[in-house]
Amino acid sequence: MTICVVGLGKIGLPLAAQFASKGHRVVGTDIDPRVVGLVNQGIEPFPGERDLDVVLKSVVEAGLLTATADTTAAVAASEVVVLVVPLYVDADGRPDFGSLDAATRAVAAGLRPGALVCYETTLPVGTTRHRWAPMLEEGSGLTTGRHFHLAFSPERVLTGRVFADLRRYPKLVGGVDEWSTRRAVAFYESVLDFDPREDLPRPNGVWDMGSAEAAELAKLAETTYRDVNIGLANQFARHAHALGVDVARVIEACNSQPYSHIHQPGIAVGGHCIPVYPRLYLWNDPAATVVRAAREANEAMPGYAVDLLASVFGSLAGAGVLVLGAAYRGGVRETAFSGVFPLVEELRARGAEPYVSDPLYSAEELAALGLPPHRGEPVAAAVVQADHPEYQTLGAADLPGVRALVDGRRVTDPARWEGVERVVIGSGL
């Protein structure tokens, strides 16, 4: 096959490399000329994805993967088109389809009879059938189900471990009609390998979800579940702190029973997925009060962390406060929906002078993100926002003059913070 992958980001590029590694001819497209140029040289544009450097170099040198900025031309030469273009939501939770609309129009302009189009970007339920199908038909002059096939198959991987996750998790597939589903199932069976898993109710592999809507809902449901679970864990943590109880012990005890699967609390929920997809779910189902309450609970955690800091430090007016970690999670160079942004905003609202440091970002990069970089200024307090491994060995000696620390990720070593008022979210201490 010749396959076109639209969007060579942190998910799309590994996916393109995976398809090519199975011997298929893959053309990746992206609007960023830098990404296109690096991919054509066999160089990963965003280091950090395990094994991508090796796989990418191999398939590019073999002539199996090339990149271009001309999506329409690439689609015209392809039998299968897979779109992995970002979808964001605005401050009110409304999806912004701008990038995906543009990509879909470019695909439609090159779509040829007999092609299969698969969307992997997480979408509100009904988007594949009611938005993409009409747009593809209008731009191509072809009819869905008669001249081309259309399906949805959500990406279910995490950056940093995409290849491992592609093997570990079933590939969910649903088309807008029976033949689209069959075609998409056959395609993914030809490009993916799966690890055997005895814990699943049926063999690991490509799972036919029956419809695009079922596949769309499955992705939203599994991610929204995580947000709701974390929201509940955060409420348990706040209550445990008020009681003087360590919530980690409570959660460990609860999860020793097979019907309890409580997640871990923390200062913020970030990334492209967990804070976003519940809002996409709510766009379809605004009456989902549990989902809305969990989202509100998680969004309140940065403010709660500042409350904890003020409770042991006193007035923050004029105090230098160092936020440790700009990334949304440890070891990942990504700030999408990171808790660092509301944390800095809340500290400023309290009159503090916030600074930010992160082992994965230079001072110039932090400034470009609108964050005040720490350049050695004296600070009186600190807040751990990301669970970078470097913070496990950080101590009071590294921040002379620090009087208080709030650990929002339970990552610091208490022995290294003697003489400092140290508070861990949910510790009760």
- Three-state SS letters, the chain: CEEEEECCCCCHHHHHHHHHHCCCEEEEECCCHHHHHHHHCCCCCCCCCCCHHHHHHHHHHCCCEEEECCHHHHHHCCCEEEECCCCEECCCCCEECHHHHHHHHHHHHHCCCCCEEEECCCCCCCHHHHHHHHHHHHHHCCCECCCEEEEECCCCCCCCCHHHHHHHCCEEEEECCHHHHHHHHHHHHHHCCCCCCCCCCCCCCEEECCCHHHHHHHHHHHHHHHHHHHHHHHHHHHHHHHHCCCHHHHHHHHCCCCCCCCCCCCCCCCCCCCCCHHHHHHHHCCCCHHHHHHHHHHHCHHHHHHHHHHHHHCCCCCCEEEEECCCCCCCCCCCCCCCHHHHHHHHHHCCCEEEEECCCCCHHHHHHCCCCECCCCCCCEEEECCCCHHHHCCCHHHCCCCCEEEECCCCCCHHHHCCCEEEECCCCC
Read off the pLDDT of residues 97-152 as tens digits, 9 standing for 90 and up.
999 999 999 999 999 999 999 999 999 999 999 999 999 999 999 999 999 999 99
pLDDT of residue 272: 84
Identity at 56, one-letter amino acid code: L
Give the angle 141-144-149 at the CA atoms, nearest 5°: 120
Q: Which string of b and e fits 323-360 if b means at least 16 CB within 10 Å?
A: bbbbbbbbebbbbebbbbbbbbebbeebebbbbbbbbb
Q: How many percent of the chain have pLDDT more than 90?
A: 94
The 10s digit of each residue's pLDDT in 359-381 is 999 999 999 999 999 999 999 99
273 annotated active-site: yes
Instruction: Give the pLDDT of residue 429.
Output: 65
| CA distance linking residue 80 with residue 112, whole number of Å | 10
pLDDT digits (tens, 9 = 90+) for 56-97: 999 999 999 999 999 999 999 999 999 999 998 876 778 999
Q: For this structure, is 219 an active site residue? A: yes
In this structure, of 89-103, 195-209, 305-319, 415-429, the range with the lowest mean pLDDT score is: 89-103
Model confidence at 165, in pLDDT bands (50, 70, 90)? very high
The encoded tokens of residue 275 equal 């804070």
Residue 229 clears pLDDT 90, i.e. is over it: yes
Q: Give the count of beta carbons closer than 10 Å to the beta carbon of residue 235.
A: 17
Stretch 11-32: mean pLDDT? 97
H or E element in which residue 237 lies: helix 212-243
Contact 339, 324 (CB under 8 A): no
pLDDT higher than 90, residue 47:
no
Residues pairing with 382 in the sheet: 322, 405
Residue with tokens 């800095």: 344
**What pLDDT is recorded for position 418?**
95
Residue in 4, 10, 171, 219 annotated catalytic: 219
How far apart CA 419 and CA 395 sit, in angstroms, is 11
Cβ atoms 343, 406 nearer than 8 A: no
Q: Domains along the chain?
A: 2-210 (3.40.50.720), 301-424 (3.40.50.720)
DSSP H or E segment with residue 148: none
**From 4, 10, 171, 273, the catalytic residue:** 273
pLDDT digits (tens, 9 = 90+) for 246-274: 999 999 999 999 999 999 999 999 988 89
Tell me the average pLDDT of the chain: 96
Distance of CA 247 to the CA centre of its chain: 26
